[in-house]
Amino acid sequence: MTSSETQAIVTVSLLAAFADGDKHDRERSEVKRIADGLSQADGIHLPTLYQDVLMKRVTLASVVPALASSEARQLAYEMAVCVCDADGAQSAAEQVFLAELGRALQINAPAAAEFRQQAEAMASAPLAGAAGVASVASAAGAPGAAAATPSIDHAALDAAILNAAIVNGALELLPETLSTMAIIPLQMKLVYRIGKAHGYELDSGHVKDFLATAGVGLTSQYLEQAGRKLLGGLLGKIGGGLLRGVGNQAVSSGMSFASTYALGHVAKRYYAGGRTLSAQMLKDTYASVTQQAQGLYSQHLPAIQQRARTLDAGKVMAMVRGA
């Protein structure tokens, strides 16, 4: 893709992020942080794009003409769908935006519908029923309530957290947009399973609140991961693109590994302690463990690369669904 097409795809993704007009200030701040962090990438000044979108100085009508190739138009549409689905079910405003985008990009309607269905299935996959953490018998209670204190296999939990971090690091090495989107529901499942292991029955609202309090935005995390993938030249590649871009993807793969590892271990401390950590302590602990996890990435990179070689779209969807 040309630099102008890449810039147009990023702009469409930012437009999608604010399509519902109801983003929490915390999420807006995270999106701005990402734009500032990526800054001058591939000749694109992301802080300026962010301001242009926020101030409504750009529209779909002004950006779509820059998407000359069918591949770039398809990728722009897929990223927009994933951005809208990253935090759960699409709002009415997001549905209107995606319909308008599909028409403007002249996306094949059946193909667009199929992709939307896949993304929505991923976004709405149930938290329960996923493998990876040893089953612990506990009495079901109200969402967020503790059940009878279970016997916890800490070694199994630690192994499951590391495995989840390796899987999410591997997903960043795959070229499909849905692979990046899968990281968020897999992180949510991990937190759910850790809560359950400590006797808590959690719903998606509680898990999302936990992630947000720790400092992990859903929409912003997808934007950062997919943005790095796109600007690194891997996103959208087919076949031979897999692992060829490992050098470019080391940063985003390492971030996904570290954030998942940190979320798992912070959740373990949080639920083991009866959910007594304050919001600031939770955020500070997450930042500290993330830094520690970044130092572990190179040690586990061979396992991450090997796992990436075994994954495909079907296996990714199965993991999200808990199969």
Residues 59 and 106 in one domain: yes
| 277 and 129 co-located in one domain | yes
Please check whether residues 209 and 111 belong to one and the same domain.
no
Decide which of 121, 136, 167 is a domain's last residue. Answer: 121
Q: Are residues 170 and 242 in the same domain?
A: yes
**Calpha distance 101→12 (Å, rounded):** 9
Same domain membership, residue 185 and residue 155? yes
SS3 148: coil
User: Quick check: 295 pLDDT over 60?
Assistant: yes
196 and 61 share a domain?
no
112's enclosing H/E stretch is: helix 109-123
The pLDDT of residue 99: 93
Of 23-32, 153-162, 223-232, 252-261, the range with the highest mean pLDDT is: 153-162
Domain tally for the chain?
A: 2
> Buried b / exposed e across 74-98, counting CB within 10 Å, b at 16+?
bbbbbbbbbbbbbbbebeeebeebb
Q: Can you tell me the mean pLDDT for 232-244?
A: 48
Asked if the model's pLDDT at residue 26 lies above 80, the reply is: no
Do 169 and 75 share a structural domain? no
Range(s) of the domain holding residue 73: 3-121
Mean of pLDDT over the chain: 82
Position 235 pLDDT exceeds 80 = no
162 and 129 within one domain = yes
Tell me the three state secondary structure of residue 277.
Answer: coil
Whether residue 87 is found in the same domain as residue 148: no
- The better pLDDT of the pair 223, 238 is held by 223
Residues 115 and 138 in one domain: no
Tens digit of each residue's pLDDT (9 = 90 or more) over 300-321: 999 999 999 999 888 988 899 8
Among 92, 121, 150, residue at a domain's last position: 121
Dihedral of the CA atoms 313, 315, 316, 321 (nearest 10)?
A: 120
Contact assessment for residue 76 and residue 9, using Cβ atoms and an 8 Å cutoff? yes
> Encoding tokens for residue 168?
């999410």
Confidence of residue 241 (pLDDT cuts 50, 70, 90): very low
Task: List the structure tokens of 287.
Answer: 């930042």
pLDDT more than 70, % of the chain? 80
Write 273-281 long-range contacts (CB < 8 A, 24+).
274/146, 275/200, 279/213
Where is average pLDDT lowest: 122-126, 162-166, 241-245, 283-287? Answer: 241-245
Q: What percent of the chain has pLDDT over 90?
A: 39
Looking at residue 251, what is its pLDDT?
61
Same domain, 179 and 303: yes
pLDDT computed for residue 246 by the predictor: 47
Q: Of the residues 87, 121, 155, which one is the last residue of a structural domain?
A: 121
**What pLDDT, on a 0 to 100 scale, did the predictor assign at position 280?**
93
How many beta carbons lie within 10 A of that of residue 144, not counting itself? 16
Q: Are both 178 and 157 inside the same structural domain? A: yes
Over the stretch 104-144, which tens digit does the pLDDT of each residue have? 999 988 988 999 999 998 888 888 754 444 444 333 344 55
pLDDT at 62: 93
CB contact at 8 A, 149 and 207: no
What pLDDT score does 302 carry?
Answer: 93
Q: Please report which confidence band the pLDDT of residue 236 belongs to, taking 50, 70 and 90 as the band edges.
A: low
What is the pLDDT, as a whole number, of residue 141? Answer: 43
Averaged over 198-216, what is the pLDDT? 91
Whether 61 has a pLDDT exceeding 90, the answer reads yes
Q: Mean of the pLDDT values across residues 284-295? A: 94
